[in-house]
């Protein structure tokens, strides 16, 4: 993950774009790009895989930029969230169901 973070940071630094990357702007950008990703599936379950990959990359890039701006390690927060979800959704109760943990 550090290679990805470094590549994104270098790309941004070379273009002097950090000045535009407030946490608020990055959070907005995540939402905007997520909407564009959702648009790939708007009218049917058939989708352009290249478009999905491109939009997903945009979402993830902005997520990495926001994590960097807030001095958050993406790997740490993902692993912590998975551990939390593991406690909320034990395999014995959650396997094969999409029911929220409060209803299990």
Q: What is the predicted pLDDT for the residue at 45? A: 87
Reported pTM: 0.90
The b/e string for 12-25 (b: 16+ C-beta within 10 A; e otherwise) is beeeeeeeebeeee
Q: What is the predicted pLDDT for the residue at 36? A: 98
Residues of the chain below pLDDT 50: none
**Sign of the C-alpha dihedral computed for residues 21, 25, 28 and 33 taken in this order:** negative
Q: What is the predicted pLDDT for the residue at 22? A: 98
Distance from C-alpha of 30 to C-alpha of 4, rounded to nearest angstrom:
17
Q: Which of 25, 96, 102 is nearest to 62 (CA)?
A: 25
Distance from C-alpha of 87 to C-alpha of 1, rounded to nearest angstrom:
25
């Amino acid at each position: 993950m550090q290679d990805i973070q470094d590549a994104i940071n270098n790309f941004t630094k070379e273009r002097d774009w950090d000045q535009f990357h407030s946490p608020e702007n990055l959070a907005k950008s995540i939402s905007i790009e997520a909407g564009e990703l959702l648009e790939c599936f708007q009218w049917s379950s058939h989708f352009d895989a290249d478009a999905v990959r491109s939009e997903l990359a945009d979402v993830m890039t902005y997520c990495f930029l926001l994590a960097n701006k807030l001095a958050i390690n993406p790997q740490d927060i993902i692993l912590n969230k998975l551990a939390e979800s593991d406690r909320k959704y034990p395999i014995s109760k959650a396997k094969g169901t999409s029911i929220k943990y409060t209803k299990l």
